[in-house]
Structure 1
Amino acid sequence: MTLDQIDDDVRALAVAYDTTDPNKAFQDCNTLLLDIQDKLERTQRPRQKERLYLSAGMVTSLLSVASFDLAALGPAVQFARTSAMYGETIESGPMQAYANGILAYLSYWGGRPAAALRYVQTARTFAGVGDTGRVRLRAIEARAHAHLGRGQDAERAIQAALEPGNGERDELHDVGGEFGFGPSRAAMSHATTYLVLGDSERAERSALHALSLLGEEPSPDRPVQMQVTVDLARARLLRGELDGVDEALAPVLETAAEWRTIGLVERVSQLRAQLARSEAAQAHLGQELGEQIEEFVALAAARPLTGSRLAIEA
């Protein structure tokens, strides 16, 4: 019964992650991890240990995501490596694939897209990964290719992500929540990839598609949708459509400070830099947007990653 409760707690944290304050999510996950580690020390039964290691791997993955959201890149990497270690201990292919996927996107956020590709290649060697996990890895691969300037490779990875699966599921990705990677999240990722490639038309189409899909989900007003909304604004700015930028950015600028995670702050900061380089910077609306963005970043819970090459850099 204790193990069943731990399983339920892990799944509840994963499902609630994108509607939970990242600070609270981190604290809740850390508390649960300490409990799991305590129980690992108190049992010698192989089956119990296997279940606990799986739960520990899932929780450390969530801790990695929360650390990244809070702009703590070093701890995010450490937690992802720990998750991979737990997966190796119990020979869980999905766990190792998921953790290596995290390490991949942490790499391109840190300005190392070639390393990101290596992590993706490693992740794709693990057995037992279902359709959801494969789509996620293809989306991460596409972004890494985009950072390396490999537009055709990025497009091939996106098209592979869009291909229908075989209905295969696994013990991790199909828990859902933060472990899931449904059509809306895939569309969000593809929008950012197209921005990196400088393709404003396809970036806007993917962003609008993602927002449409998110609007159909049970919790349509989740803070995560603000990231793709910024991508929509950036796509419009690439075409000089300042009024469209203002329209898209309005709800983003109202995001509560605790929800201004690094993924959102970096996107908004990059939009500010993009705006400053454009002719629109001299327009009255452009100046107003610049000031509003500066205030938004100044009050954010997460701070821009010092010295990083932005993962959304065009």
Structure 2
Amino acid sequence: MEPSGPTLFQTLIDQRGWQDYQVFQRRYEQAAKQLAELEGPPSIATATIEKRQFFRYAHGEVRTPQTVARRVLEFMFPGIPAARLLGPAESGQRPSPNRPAADDRDAVDPSEYGLEDVVMAAANESAQFAARAESSNVGPHTLEQLEADIRRLVITYPNRPVGPLFREVRALRDRAFELLEGRQPPRYTSDLYVGAGVLCGVLANASFDLGRYDAAETQARTAFLFGELAGHNGLRSWVRGLQAVIAYWDGRPADAVRLADSGSGFTPESGTAQIRLESVKARAYGQLNRGGDALAALGAADRLRERLVEGDELPGGMMAFPVEKQLFYSSSTHLWLAGGQHLSAAEARAAEAVDMFQSAPPEQQRLGEMSLARMDLAMARLGRGDIDGAGIQIHAVLEVSARRRTESVDRRIGHFSRRLALHPGAGSPAAIGLREVIIAHQDRMPAQLPPGGSQ
């Protein structure tokens, strides 16, 4: 039996301007591809919707869609179950022409679908309506909202699981792209370039954390282009640092040095991007076994820190390079250089970094970076035969990794396990137990993104 009024599906597509079948089909296919990349299986990427099915959804002739269609629809309309979506819209859910849809408390139960997602969805709807209310494609409110959303993402990034965050950053990047494709006063274009560049940079960092170096490099190149278009030295310098980090982890230390040197040519008026460049360069020189150059780069980073100007051209959070992060880059450099003196220096710097990371409130801790500092500390302690001391750090890393996994931490855990197997104390009960814990952790940890493009 058909509903007496429009379905919630019809109401929402009218509200969003998706009433035309071809428009909705493009949105549906884009959502299917994103869903395949983020949650899998890859076969979902080819899903589409036929014209007859589209109108059946709109007219309420289908209440229980097939599994793939249900997943895509619920991805397109977060927080609304498909059965509710294809049911009748209540009178309070029908938006008037001049205002956004009323609050749908019956359609979305925060306790069931996640209060944070519902609250953010409501905030985004309000922001989108305010943007439409401005007289031009981009106005002060739109830019203010975009900057606020970017700031929130980069500040919370170090403490949140990377996979779910990826989707949110990608949606905001798409919004920035849409704004750039429109017509806006020239004075706003540069700000939009910076915003889009920062978001591409965050996606590059997320792709790197998820082990997709190819996608990370593509995102970083796009971010750098936006920095060029905006003439923004802070963004250009930061992106070159990220590209150098990717090259370092990809086993291309000479490229890392070259990229860091390139970034040094873009000097921002304030911020920590240049300190990061010298610190990345130090690790790359360490990997190349060029001790003199590595120590010189560490010294240059220290001098830049001493002359640091308050403030930053970038929004902080994951884009900042705090003292504790500089310390563990230094510890990694000393680990590469080896020898008793360097081992002691690595342990001291890594221990100090861990203490500083831990001193932050739990909701503000930089989990991935703290785990890498712990791995440096574990490696240094293993180097001097303290397997129990190393094990304390490994257990702490595994606990965090179970909640927020990154590829670089996974690699360091694997490297530690191989070094432990070759250690003179490998046959001790402590070493055997530690390796078993690591193996169990590796066996139960799935990838956060399936194979496929993550751009």
TM > 0.5 fold call: yes
Select which of 141, 145, 154 maps to 1:5: 145
Distance 1:301 1:165 in 2: 44
Provide the residue aligned with 1:223 in structure 2.
367
CA contact (8 A) 2:159 2:365 kept: no
Aligned AA (1:167) = V
| Partner Cα distance (1:125, 1:222) in 2 | 29
1:205 and 2:205 matched: no
- Sequence identity percentage: 32
Match of 1:66 in 2: 206
Corresponding residue of 2:385: 240
Match of residue 185 from structure 2: 45
8 Å CA contact retained: 1:120, 1:137 = yes
Measure, in 2, the Cα distance between the counterparts of 1:197 and 1:256: 27
Q: Alpha-carbon deviations, 1:237-266, whole Å to 9, x = none?
A: 111111111222222222353412112111
One of 163, 171, 178 as aligned partner of 1:31: 171
Structure with more contact order per residue of length (Cα contacts < 8 Å, sep ≥ 6) = 1
TM-score under structure 1 normalisation? 0.91
Distance 1:103 1:253 in 2: 27
Query: Which residue number corresponds to residue 183 of structure 1?
Result: 323
What is the one-letter code of the residue matched to 1:15? Answer: I
8 Å contact 1:184–1:213 — kept in the other structure? Answer: yes
CA separation in 1, counterparts of 2:269 and 2:433? 48
**Structure 1 spans left out of the alignment, 5+ residues:** 304-314
Residue pair 1:191, 1:206 contacting (<8 A) in 2 also: yes
Gaps of 5+ in 2: 1-140, 449-455
Query: How far apart in 2 are the matches of 1:131 and 1:154?
Result: 22
**Contact 1:69-1:302 at 8 Å conserved across structures:** no
Q: For the residues of structure 2 that align with 1:298 and 1:47, how far apart are their CA atoms? A: 53
1:292 corresponds to 2:432 = no
- Indicate if the aligned counterparts of 1:265 and 1:300 stay in contact, CA closer than 8 A: no
Q: Structure 1 146/94 Cα, relative in aligned 2: closer, same or farther at 3 Å?
A: same
State the Cα distance separating 1:221 from its structure 2 match: 4.8
| Rg larger in structure | 2
Counterparts of 1:53-202 in structure 2, within 5 Å, are: 53-163=193-303, 164-167=306-309, 169-172=311-314, 175-198=315-338, 199-202=342-345
Separation in 1, partners of 2:160, 2:271: 27
For residues 20-56 of structure 1, give each alpha carbon's deviation from its aligned partner in whole angstroms, at most 9, with x where no partner exists. Answer: 1101221111000000101111124222211111000
How many pairs are equivalent?
Answer: 301
Deviations 1:113-134 (CA, angstroms, capped at 9, x unpaired): 1111110111001132534112
RMSD, aligned CA = 1.7
Aligned equivalents of 1:169 and 1:221: distance in 2?
21
Partner of 2:399, secondary structure, is: coil
Letter in 1 for 2:313: E
State which drifts further: 257-266 or 95-104.
257-266
CA contact (8 A) 2:161 2:405 kept: no
Query: Does the aligned pair in 1 maintain the 2:158–2:365 contact within 8 Å?
Result: no
2-side partners of 1:151 and 1:302: how far apart? Answer: 36
